[in-house]
């Protein structure tokens, strides 16, 4: 049985509910309506040093309806709840728009209707893996990570999610997407009288998740990595504090993925650039008139937004307002070329031809409005191996795996810390250091990018993100190869 064959609604039943909602999303002044129906199921299994297991499987199914009435949006959502419910949600959306009338009108960028079906390729259905196999893997991981005496805490987890996402709008688009993702996390903490230190794998914030089946988890090499993670956590207890100052640094792919997320992805959301997110998430240091001309970084910096790349949490065929996915260069050779957009933001900005923008309207399931989130946004690889990059640097540091991060509301001034760093002398990795951190300003930081390692060193990461009011979650893909930055400001805190 396919990993996509599950749930309470097949495509035909879902389509009927979409049509019911669209039929009800009408009335005087209604010029556009779209409906999203999402059925999702998520499974998580965690364990720790005490052998305690926590397993949960969460299922939800619901409908979100958005209408444009007299130029004003109205949105309503509710869980699926029997006959007639879809129409009721649509009527609430129409009523909300009517009650919100009288403010400046929303205009949508022109777009041809697009219909189709898309599914994430899956080799092994993660929901079909037995409790015994999952438990055995986690137990081996915990045992390996906790082998050193000073490891005091280990948490290991597995996660999987599957979704049926259906979309229809009043312009004729009809879309279905069947998504599956799999992931894992490991966190080890070593402690003694010198303090506590942590190491993690495959990423430090909620682990890593890919659009794939169980084969992704098996390919991580969790058990071997767990041994390293435990040993490095203990080694960090006795490692010297990383010094502050100015230094050349090769930043590893996990840390750089977060740097891209915070200082590129968020900064290039068009709704931020236009000011819509001023109150909470913030604005951007990028101005609307900068698009096409602004030097964002060095010529070594090329950033793509490409949801058509398979396997990431930012991979899809259509965004959550039905815009087909396509590859766009956001930054090319250091110059800002494009931004992540939603349909109404594009229209307000006014510069795009019909349907040609990097569609990035995304929502957290059925309950929330689509807003601009990053998609699959990554640094294009350069050439050569990590060792060659370290050799090119000569003296400096190699740092990876985020420990702490903070950036201002314009995505300009930031400070990041990593779990681990190594002194590099003469191109060779030497002493392990604790408490490495660096900071700077976005354009200066990216301007100091000298070289990016090749595609063989590239790693992709799936990340959760928060935005909007009320805050909703977005799930994104970012990736990078290790990259050399010259003259970074380092130090601040442990």
Q: Which positions from 261 through 300 interact with another protein, judged by CB under 8 A?
A: 275-280, 282
| Residue 293 structure tokens | 């001309």
Determine, following the binding rule CB under 8 A, whether residue 439 of this chain makes contact with another protein.
yes
Closest separation in Å from C-beta 484 to another protein:
18
Distance CA 307, CA 319 (A): 9
Q: Which residues contact 109 (CB under 8 A, 6 or more apart)?
A: 343, 344, 346, 347, 352, 354, 355, 357
Q: Which stretch binds another protein (CB under 8 A): 29-37, 131-139, 220-228, 299-307?
A: 131-139
Q: Which of residues 16-45 bind another protein (CB under 8 A)?
A: 44
Question: Are 213 and 181 a contacting pair, CB within 8 Å?
Answer: no
Question: Are 57 and 192 a contacting pair, CB within 8 Å?
Answer: no
Determine, following the binding rule CB under 8 A, whether residue 308 of this chain makes contact with another protein.
no
Among 2, 59, 123, 128, binds another protein (CB under 8 A): 59
Among 52, 149, 350, 353, binds another protein (CB under 8 A): 52
Q: Which of residues 132-161 bind another protein (CB under 8 A)?
A: 132, 135-136, 139, 152-153, 155, 157, 159
Helix (H) or strand (E) holding 23: helix 11-24
Determine, following the binding rule CB under 8 A, whether residue 54 of this chain makes contact with another protein.
yes
Q: Which stretch binds another protein (CB under 8 A): 102-110, 289-297, 317-325, 326-334?
A: 102-110
Among 92, 162, 178, 343, binds another protein (CB under 8 A): 92
Q: Which is nearer to another protein, 197 or 375 (CB)?
A: 197
Contact letters for another protein, residues 167-206 (x by CB under 8 A): ------------------------x---xx---------x
| DSSP code of residue 268 | G
Closest separation in Å from C-beta 438 to another protein:
6
Helix (H) or strand (E) holding 142: helix 131-145
Question: Are 327 and 357 a contacting pair, CB within 8 Å?
Answer: no
Distance CA 360, CA 300 (A): 25
| DSSP code of residue 172 | S
- Quick one: CA torsion of 297, 298, 301, 303, rounded to 10 degrees? 30
| Residue 378 structure tokens | 């990554």
Q: Which of residues 365-404 bind another protein (CB under 8 A)?
A: 367-369, 371, 403-404
Q: Which residue has the tokens 């009408």?
A: 26
Contact letters for another protein, residues 200-239 (x by CB under 8 A): ------x---------------------------------
Q: Which stretch binds another protein (CB under 8 A): 129-137, 217-225, 284-292, 321-329?
A: 129-137
Q: Which of residues 341-360 bind another protein (CB under 8 A)?
A: 344
Q: Which is nearer to another protein, 77 or 448 (CB)?
A: 77
Q: Which residue has the tokens 């003259």?
A: 487
* DSSP β-ladder status, 53-69 and 72-79: antiparallel
């Amino acid at each position: 049985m396919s990993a996509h064959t599950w749930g309470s609604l097949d495509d035909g039943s879902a389509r009927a509910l979409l049509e019911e909602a669209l039929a009800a999303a009408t009335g005087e002044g209604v010029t556009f309506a779209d409906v999203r129906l999402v059925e999702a199921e998520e499974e998580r299994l965690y364990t720790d040093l005490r052998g305690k297991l926590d397993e949960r499987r969460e299922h939800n199914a619901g409908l979100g309806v958005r209408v444009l009435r007299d130029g004003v949006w109205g949105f309503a959502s509710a869980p699926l709840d029997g006959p007639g419910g879809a129409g009721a949600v649509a009527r609430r959306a129409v009523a909300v728009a009517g009650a919100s009338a009288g403010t400046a009108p929303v205009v949508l960028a022109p777009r041809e209707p697009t219909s189709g079906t898309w599914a994430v390729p899956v080799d092994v259905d993660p929901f079909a893996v037995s409790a015994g196999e999952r438990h055995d893997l986690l137990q081996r991981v915990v045992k390996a990570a906790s082998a050193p005496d000073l490891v005091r805490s280990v948490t290991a987890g597995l996660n999987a999610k599957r979704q049926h996402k259906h979309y229809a709008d009043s312009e004729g688009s009809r879309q279905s997407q069947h998504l599956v993702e799999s992931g894992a996390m490991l966190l080890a903490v070593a402690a003694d009288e010198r303090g506590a230190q942590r190491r993690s794998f495959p990423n430090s914030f909620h682990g890593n998740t890919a659009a794939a089946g169980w084969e992704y988890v098996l390919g991580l090499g969790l058990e071997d990595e767990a041994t390293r993670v435990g040993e490095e956590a203990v080694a960090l207890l006795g490692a010297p504090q990383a010094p502050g100052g100015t230094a050349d640094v090769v930043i590893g792919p996990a840390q750089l993925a977060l740097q891209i997320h915070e200082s590129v992805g968020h900064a290039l959301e068009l709704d931020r650039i236009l000011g819509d997110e001023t109150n909470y998430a913030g604005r951007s240091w990028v101005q609307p008139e900068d698009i096409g001309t602004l030097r964002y970084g060095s010529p070594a910096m090329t950033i793509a937004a490409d949801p058509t790349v398979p396997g990431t949490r930012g991979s899809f065929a259509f965004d959550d307002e039905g815009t087909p996915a396509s590859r766009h260069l956001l930054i090319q050779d250091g110059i800002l070329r494009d931004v992540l957009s939603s349909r109404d933001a594009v229209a307000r900005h006014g510069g795009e031809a019909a349907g040609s923008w990097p569609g990035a309207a995304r929502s957290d399931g059925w309950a929330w409005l689509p807003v601009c989130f990053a998609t699959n946004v990554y640094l294009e690889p350069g050439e050569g191996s990590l060792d060659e990059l370290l050799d090119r640097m000569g003296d400096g540091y190699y740092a990876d795996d985020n420990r702490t991060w903070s950036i201002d509301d314009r995505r300009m001034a930031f400070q990041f810390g990593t779990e681990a760093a190594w002194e590099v002398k003469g191109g060779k990795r030497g002493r392990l250091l604790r408490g490495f951190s660096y900071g700077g300003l976005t354009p200066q930081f990216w301007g100091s990018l000298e070289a990016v390692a090749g595609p063989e060193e590239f790693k992709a990461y799936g990340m959760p993100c928060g935005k909007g009011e009320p805050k909703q979650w977005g799930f994104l893909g970012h990736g990078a190869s290790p990259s050399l930055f010259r003259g970074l400001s380092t130090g601040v805190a442990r």
